[in-house]
Amino acid sequence: MKYIFGYLAALCILALIIAQAILIPSFFTPFFSWQYQLPRTAFNGQNTLQVLDIEKAELMRVNDHLLDYMRGRAPNHDLQIEAFLEGRYQPFFGEREILHMVDVRILYTNGFLLRNLAFFALIFFILGLALVKAPVLTVLCKCTREVLAGFLILLLILAGLIALDFPTAFRWFHYIFFDNDYWLLHPGADRLLSMVPHRFFIDISLFVGGLLLLFSGTVVAVATLHLRRANRRNTPISARFR
What does the alpha-carbon distance between residue 215 and residue 22 come to, in Å, rounded to a whole number? 12
Q: Is residue 75 in a domain?
A: no
Residue 105 domain-assigned? no
Backbone φ and ψ for 90, nearest 5 degrees, come out as -160, 160
**Does residue 44 lie in a domain region?**
yes
Cα dist from 79 to 59, 154, 188, whole Å = 14, 37, 19
Selection from 171, 175, 188, 179 nearest residue 94 by Cα? 188
Question: pLDDT at position 56, please?
Answer: 95
134: domain range?
Answer: 2-52+115-240
Instruction: Give domain status of residue 31, yes or no.
Output: yes
* Alpha-carbon span 1 to 129, nearest angstrom: 8
Please name the residues in contact with 116: beta carbons below 8 A apart, sequence gap of 6 or more.
none
**SS percent in the chain: helix, strand, coil, step 5:** 75, 5, 20
- Say which residues have a Cβ less than 8 Å from residue 42's Cβ, sequence separation at least 6: 187, 197, 198, 199
Give the number of other Cβ atoms within 10 Å of residue 162's Cβ: 17
How many structural domains compose the chain?
1
On whether residue 205 sits in a domain, the answer given is yes
Return per-residue pLDDT of the chain as tens, 242 residues: 888 999 999 999 999 999 999 999 999 999 999 999 999 888 888 999 999 999 999 999 999 999 999 998 877 667 888 999 888 899 999 999 999 999 999 999 999 999 999 999 999 999 998 988 888 899 999 999 999 999 999 999 999 999 999 999 999 999 999 999 999 998 878 999 999 999 999 999 999 999 999 999 999 999 999 898 887 776 554 444 34
Q: Is residue 91 part of a domain?
A: no
Domain-located, residue 173: yes
* Separation of alpha carbons 34 and 56, rounded Å: 11
Give dist(CA 188, CA 38) in Å, integer: 18
Asked whether residue 83 is domain-assigned, the answer is no
Local structure of 80: helix, strand or coil? coil
